[in-house]
Amino acid sequence: MLELTDRHFRYFARLLTKRTLLYTEMITTGAILHNKPEKFLEYNKEEHPVALQLAGSSPKDLAECAKIGEDFGYDEINLNCGCPSERVQNGSFGACLMREPSLVAECVFAMQSTVKIPVSVKTRIGIDNDDSWEFFLNFVESIAKTGCNYFIIHARKAWLKGLSPKENRTIPPLNYETVFKLKEIHPDLKISLNGGVKNLDEAEAVLHKTDGVMIGRAAHETPWILANADSEIFGEDLEIKTRSEILERYLPYAESEFKKGVPSSLLAKPIMGLFHGIAGAKKYRTMLSQPGGDWMNFAIFLLCPKNSLMV
C-alpha cells in the first residue's frame, strides 16, 4: 500500500468509518532515523486509532523507531514481514524475513521491551518453496514466544523472484484455510486475515473464523465499502452519510493542505474511487485527474444536487 495509505487517504477513510483500525504505509527504519521523523510520521489526530507499519531487520533500529512512533502518539506498532519487492529484499526486510524467525523474534522482543503500545506482525503464509504448514507454524510460534499475540496474515505465499509486487497480490493462490487452521490451533493468538477480501459481506464471513480482517486495495479502489463498517461490523447505530456529504467534508481539508503546498494529485487520489459503480464515475475520475487545483472546483460543482452523482 505504498503511496496509497498516506495521511490524506487515512483522513478521508476516517470520514467514512470511526471504528476501523487504520495502518500507515510501510516505512523503513532508515527513513525515520536518517531524516526528520515528522517527514514520515506526521498524521492527523482524527486518524486514531492508527498503527505505524515499520520495515527493518535491526532489533536496535526497530526498537528506536517503535519508541519514536509511540512518542508521536501511534496506537500500535506493526512489523512488516510480508512485502516481496526486490527493493525491500535488498534491504533484508519484508517477506524474506520469514526465513529468519529467530531474528524476527529478536526484533519483536526489542520493540515490545521499548514501548507500552501493542506490537503486531504482518506476514505471509510462506515464501517461494518454503510454503509448508510446518514452516509457517514455526515462524508464527517462534515470534509468539516473545509474548507477541497479534498476527495479520496475508493468505498467500510470496514469490521473491520472478513476480512483481502486483503479481504477488494475485498469482499465488489464496489459502484461507491455513489462516483458519492457525486460529484453531492457537485460539490464544489474535489473528487477522488479509488478502482478497473485497467487501463487508466477505469480511463478515471471514470474521466467523478469525479475530479481524484487513482490507487493503479494495478500501482504496472502492472506499465507499467503509461507509457501512461501523454499523455492519461493529454494530453501531449510525446514520449513513451520502457520498456527496463525505466529499463536502473532505474538501476543506484538501483545500487547506493544497495551500500548504501538498500536490493536488496526492489530495485527489483518496477520493478517486468514491463514486465507483455510479453512473458518471468515469467522468468524475477524469476531472479529478486535472493538474493544479481545478479538480476542487469540479468537486464543489458536484455538490450542487442537480449535478451530483449521488446526493
In a domain, 2, yes or no: no
Same domain, 265 and 166: no
pLDDT tens profile 219-231: 999 999 999 999 9
Any domain includes 1: no
The verdict on residue 237 lying in a domain is no
The answer on 227 and 186 residing in a single domain is yes
51 located within any domain: yes
Identify the CATH number of the domain in which residue 257 sits: 1.20.120.1460
Show the cell assigned to 259: 495551500
Inter-helix orientation angle 133-144/176-185, to 10°: 50
Distance CA(137)–CA(154), nearest Å, equals 14
Residue 171 inside a domain? The answer is: yes
Q: Which residues are catalytic?
A: 83
**Alpha helices, DSSP H, located in 196-309:** 200-207, 217-221, 229-232, 243-259, 264-268, 281-288, 294-302
The pLDDT of residue 170 is: 81
Same domain assignment for residues 186 and 268: no
- Evaluate whether 10 touches 44 at the Cβ level (below 8 Å): yes
In a domain, 309, yes or no: no
71 and 25 share one domain: yes
- Count Cβ neighbours within 10 Å for each residue of 248-267 and write b for 16 or more, e otherwise: bebbebbeebbeeeeebebb
pLDDT along the chain (311 residues), means of 10: 84 95 95 93 96 97 98 98 75 87 98 98 95 98 97 94 80 95 98 96 97 94 94 84 87 89 88 86 77 62 53 40
Shared domain for 168 and 251, answered yes or no, is no
User: Per-residue pLDDT tens for 177-194?
Assistant: 999 999 999 999 999 999
pLDDT on residue 311:
40
Final residue belonging to a domain, choices 232, 256, 289 = 232
Widest pairwise Cα distance in the chain: 61
Domain stop point among 232, 265, 293: 232
Report the C-alpha gap between 140 and 177 in whole angstroms: 16
β-pairing, 76-81 with 212-214? unpaired
What pLDDT is stored for residue 277 in this prediction?
A: 84
Whether residue 156 is found in the same domain as residue 123: yes
Cβ contact 24:239 at 8 Å: no
- Report the domain count for the chain: 2
Please indicate, yes or no, if residue 176 is contained in any of the structural domains.
Answer: yes
* Alpha carbon distance 43, 74 (integer Å): 9
Are residues 178 and 294 located together in one domain of the fold? Answer: no
Same domain, 160 and 263: no
If you ran DSSP here, which 8-state letter would residue 127 be given? B
Q: Are 274 and 222 in contact (CB under 8 A)?
A: no
> How far apart are alpha carbons 189 and 148 in whole angstroms?
8
CA dihedral 41, 94, 13, 243 (to 10 degrees): 140
Residues 88, 175 within the same domain: yes
Q: What pLDDT sits at residue 54? A: 97
Q: Which residues make beta-bridge pairs with 50?
A: 22
The reported pLDDT for the residue numbered 167 is: 85
Q: Does 40 share its domain with 186? A: yes
Give the pLDDT of residue 87. Answer: 67
Q: Of the residues 232, 259, 276, which one is the last residue of a structural domain?
A: 232
d(CA 100, CA 58): 12
Host domain of residue 166: 7-232
DSSP string, 49-102: SEEEEEE-S-HHHHHHHHHHHHHHT-SEEEEEE----HHHHHTT-GGGGGG-HH
